[in-house]
Amino acid sequence: MSTSAHPTADAIRTGGTVTDRLVDANARYAADFTDPGMDARPVLRVAVVACMDARLDLHAALGLELGDCHTIRNAGGVVTDDVIRSLTISQRALGTRSVMLVHHTGCGLESLTEDFRHELEDEVGQRPAWAVEAFRDVDQDVRQSMQRVRTSPFLLHSDDVRGFVFDVTTGLLREIDPTTDAETDPA
Ligand SMILES: [Zn+2]
């Protein structure tokens, strides 16, 4: 494509880094952008906590529009202290009430163990303050995440917390029963 009216963007596209490419895309995005005049408070009053996985297009997969929700993502969609921080701000300052957790099949964290952390310490001489939060059973990991949200003392609303596993091959969500034990789960 060399139809851009922006010569700098064209120059970046031919020899730049991936970030240059993204900045280039933004110039095109902004060219057609009109201020939607939205409030910062999510329209659907929901916060979605999901894995950072590149195959998970949350807005498309959940039918979300601009302004609908808060999106909080990290490796695994794990409910860490920092996710609780974001959820607390989301609920107390920006009016959300519901929490949706989305983990997925084929997550990178399934192939890691806490050894990752120890190897890291051996390599750099410093132990990370964070846990890897690796897991073997994605259903159980979703249950643990739901439990962490439900039991947080900082949140105003913990009655509507639901957890799902997104299948990266079918695009379908599967809801996780928060009360089912992993050993007795028929699935
Ligand atoms: Zn993942």
Centroid of ligand 1 to alpha carbon of 176 (angstroms): 16
Residue 40 counted as domain residue? no
Assess whether 21 and 53 both reside in one domain: no
**Number of independent structural domains in the chain:** 2
Identify the DSSP state of 106. Answer: T
Q: Which domain holds residue 135?
A: 46-184
- 22 plus 71 within the same structural domain: no
29 CA distance to ligand 1 middle (Å) = 28
Give exposure, 104-133, as e/b (b: 16+ Cβ within 10 Å): beebebbebeeeebeeeeeeeeeeeeeebb
Count, residues in the chain: 187
pLDDT of the residue at 7: 54
Q: Is there a single domain that holds both residue 4 and residue 81?
A: no
Q: Which band of pLDDT confidence, cut at 50, 70 and 90, is reported for residue 74?
A: very high
- Does residue 26 surpass a pLDDT of 60? yes
Residue 163 inside a domain? The answer is yes
> Is residue 100 in a domain?
yes
Q: Which residues are CB-contacts of 28 (< 8 A; sequence separation ≥ 6)? A: 4, 9
One domain for residues 110 and 156: yes
The tokens describing 95, both together, are 């009016």
Are residues 75 and 132 located together in one domain of the fold?
yes
* Integer Cα distance of 182 and 173 in angstroms: 18
Between residues 182 and 141, the one the model is more confident about: 141
